[in-house]
Every structure is written in structure tokens, then in C-alpha cells.
Amino acid sequence: MLFSLIKNEIIIEVKSSFNLFYISFFALSSLILLFFSMPLTFLNDPNILSSFFWIIISFSSIKVVENSFAREKEFGIYDLIYSSPVYGHLFFLSKLLVFTFVLLIIEFLIFLFYSLLNPMISISDLTILFPLFLISNISIISLAIIIYLITSSERIKSFLFPLIFFPLLTPILINSSRIFTNTYIDDNISNLPSIMILLSYSLISVILGVQFFSTLIKK
Amino acid sequence: MLSAKKLYKSFDSNHVLKNLSIDFPLGKIIMIIGSNGSGKSTLLNCLSRTTEIDRGKINNNGFRTFFLSDKDNVVGNLTIKDNLKIITSLYETDFNCEVFNKYVKQLNLNEQLDKQLKNLSRGNLQKNKMLMALCTNWDYLLLDEPFSNLDDDSICTQKELIKKFKSENKTVIFSTHNHHLFKEIADATYLIQSGSIQNVI
């Protein structure tokens, strides 16, 4: 059933009015803004490149999650999907996997742009950074889904989604950025405390999502 | 059978359902009527478990429910077929192209097949809801205002299809404001008033 749900999410994502294109366009626009707003020497600073990278990813994650639920709510298929006999946690996992993949595509595009911008960054670094992207994306998306569902309930105003999401996201962004910078300098992933924090975050957020998705969706 | 026992549901201080108990046997057509805001949609939402109840118990005894709310129940960017494939996969039904083509013809949706659902008229979207019900496995069909925006011919077709469901020992529970139009097909009519329900016919 999980594969079937993943297939459904992909079909909806692909056929939804260039959704992926809009998000990629947003990511690239932010990069171009960075390129034109900073002196060229700053663009060699791994800290700046890394922080921009994760800020763009966090904004993109909000759009990916919001668009997905908005599509389901727009023409009212939401009730039909979530009243089906499928277990709630399978919906959560299917969304998590598909959106993680969407973020990976965006990360690849940003990285491609970085490699054009800075000769010290090469595409081959992607293989080293792939586990970091994967773990960070899982944490970010799980958290985004949980916070979106909490803030989209009848009693809470939806503008609170980014307001609650960003403070909770900060530890993920700081540690992802730290690992990203270290990798840029040392050419390998070597920051154990940050890796452990990221792993704990992703594990906790996935467990919370699996446990509470069904309850939150009915609110 | 599908049953609700001592059901309570409120929205802030508005107590919509109060101590509501009802059983829905299989193989029946059940009409739910009531004024605006009386709780018809809330009852259907609770029975389908799309809304959490405050107190009480809903028991479906292993029977499958299929709830079509008063919204369009589609993903706007998909076609009728793609949308239906998603729904059938969720309700553990194999998509059968032959059955699909047969009902598309019966519901007169042939010319709408290539269009995105967001471009369909309200009436055709209503027909698409019936098509989803026809191509999916369930025991209880919950319909919220299923006859709005339909022309007379389409209403007749929908009535016939609802009777067909009954002949297959399935139960259709629908809410409507035009009870005089559908009393001929309904086996029982329930009126929701002041949060409680009573059998009026």
C-alpha cells in the first residue's frame, strides 16, 4: 500500500501545474539574489554558502508541504482520502518520502549552481553530502508536516505555521550548516555531535509523525 | 451494521449533535433531512470518521464506508480517470477499465474525459462523484447533498443508480433539502433537529 500511496503522491505532484518548477524557480531566484547582493569574495566563504543553502531549503519545504495539503483541500478530496481504510501513518510516510525526494532535487539544483559559482565546489561532493541531505530532509519534512497539521486545525490561525516551524527548525539548520561547512573544508563528513543531533531530530520527528498523523488530520 | 451510540459533537459553544444514537442496516436507502446548520453534514462527517467526535461511539463492524462530501472530491489538475485511479487504490479496489467505460457512458461523461477536473461544470463534478462510488468497493455510501446542480435527467439516472446499490445489499445514506423529490426511493427518512435525530417515515 505504501508504494501505491507514493505513486499517487508522485502523480499528483507531477500533474500539479509545474509545482516543482515553481519551487525550483524560487530556489534559483534566491541564489541569483545572493549572487548579486554579495561581493564575490563573500561567495567563497563556506559559512555564507552553507547558511543560504539551508535557508532556501527550509523555505522550499514550507511551500512543498503547504502546496500538497492545499491541493487536497482545494477541491475537497481531503475527506475522501483520509476517510479511506488506509492507516494514517502510511500517508505520513508516503508524503515524507516523496517530499524528501523533491527537496533532494532542489538541493541538487542549488549545488549545481554553487559549483558554477565557486570552483572549489565540485559535483562529486554530492556523493559525500547525500547522507546529510537525506537525514536533514527527513527531519525538515516530518517537522513541517506535523506543524502544518497542528496550525491548520480549526482553532489555530494558519499563519502560525512558519512562526512555529522556524524556531523548531533552527537546531536542524544550524547542525546541517555546520556539517556542510566542514565537508566543504575537510572533504568528508566529520562532525559527530552535529550528526547525532540531526539523527535524533529526524528519528523523533518521524516517530511523532507516525504516531500523531491520524489524530492531527481529523482535527 | 453501521451504528452511532450517544454521539456528541460541538463546535465551540455550538452543540450540533447531542446524545444521538442510530443504526443503519445493510441494503437500505436512508435520507437525512433537516434545516441549514442542523447537523446533517456533521453526522455524515462523524460516521465517515473524517471528524473527531467529542463523546460517544461509532461502530462500523468491519463494513467499509465511502464518504462523498458536498465538495468536489477531486484533485483539480487530474483527469477523471487519473483521479479515479487514486481513489480506487485507496479503497483497495482494482481499477476496471470496462466498468469505468460503461459508467462513463451511462453518466454521459464521455466528452469530459480529457479535461482537467477543475475545468468541469458543477453538474459534471457531481456526476463524477457518482462514478467514483460506482467504481469503488464499499458497504455504506455516505453522500452529502448529492443531487445539487443536477438537471432532471441526471437526477433520474442518479436515483436509478442508488436503487442499484440497494439491490446489491449496499446502504446509501444521503442528506438533502429536497426530500419531496427523493421520498419515493428512500426506505427511511430521518430528521435532525436540535442535535437529535428522529425517524419521520
The confidence score (pLDDT) of residue B127 equals 92
DSSP chain A: -HHHHHHHHHHHHHTSTTHHHHHHHHHHHHHHHHHHHS-GGGGG-HHHHHHHHHHHHHHHHHHHHHHHHHHHHHTB-HHHHHTSSS-HHHHHHHHHHHHHHHHHHHHHHHHHHHHHH-TT--TTHHHHHHHHHHHHHHHHHHHHHHHHHHHTSTTS-TTHHHHHHHHHHHHHHHHHHHHHHHHHHHSS---HHHHHHHHHHHHHHHHHHHHHHHHHHH-
| pLDDT for residue B190 | 92
For an interface test with A, the pick among B86, B91, B93, B130 (most A C-beta atoms closer than 10 Å) comes out as: B86
**A193-208 average pLDDT score:** 92
pLDDT for position A156: 62
| Average pLDDT of span A12-29 | 80
Across B68-96, average pLDDT: 89
Higher pLDDT among residues A121 and B122, named by residue: B122
Q: What is the pLDDT of residue B162?
A: 92
Q: Between chains, do A76 and B69 touch, taking CB under 8 Å as contact?
A: yes
* Tens digits of residue pLDDT in A53-87: 898 999 889 888 988 888 888 888 888 888 888 88
Give the one of A71, A85, A218 whose C-beta lies nearest to B64's C-beta.
A85
Instruction: Look at A80 and B92 and tell me if their CB atoms are within 8 Å.
Output: no
State how many domains chain A has.
1
- Whole domain around residue A13: which residue ranges? 2-218
Give residue A211's pLDDT: 92
Query: What CATH number belongs to B2-199?
Result: 3.40.50.300
Mean pLDDT, to the nearest integer, of A50-55? Answer: 88
Mean pLDDT, to the nearest integer, of A132-155?
Answer: 89
What per-residue confidence (pLDDT) applies to B6? Answer: 92
Instruction: Calculate what percentage of chain B has a pLDDT beyond 70.
Output: 100
Query: Mean pLDDT over residues A190-196, rounded?
Result: 83
| Residue B34 reports pLDDT greater than 70 | yes
Mean pLDDT, range A3-23, rounded to an integer: 82
pLDDT of B128 above 80 = yes
Mean pLDDT computed over every residue of chain B? 90
Q: Which of A22, A84, A95 to mutate to test the interface with B (most CBs of B within 10 A)?
A: A84
State the pLDDT at residue B179.
79
* pLDDT band at residue A144 under the 50/70/90 scheme: very high
Give the confidence band of B189 by pLDDT, cuts at 50, 70, 90: very high
Which residue in chain B has the smallest CA separation from A83? B50
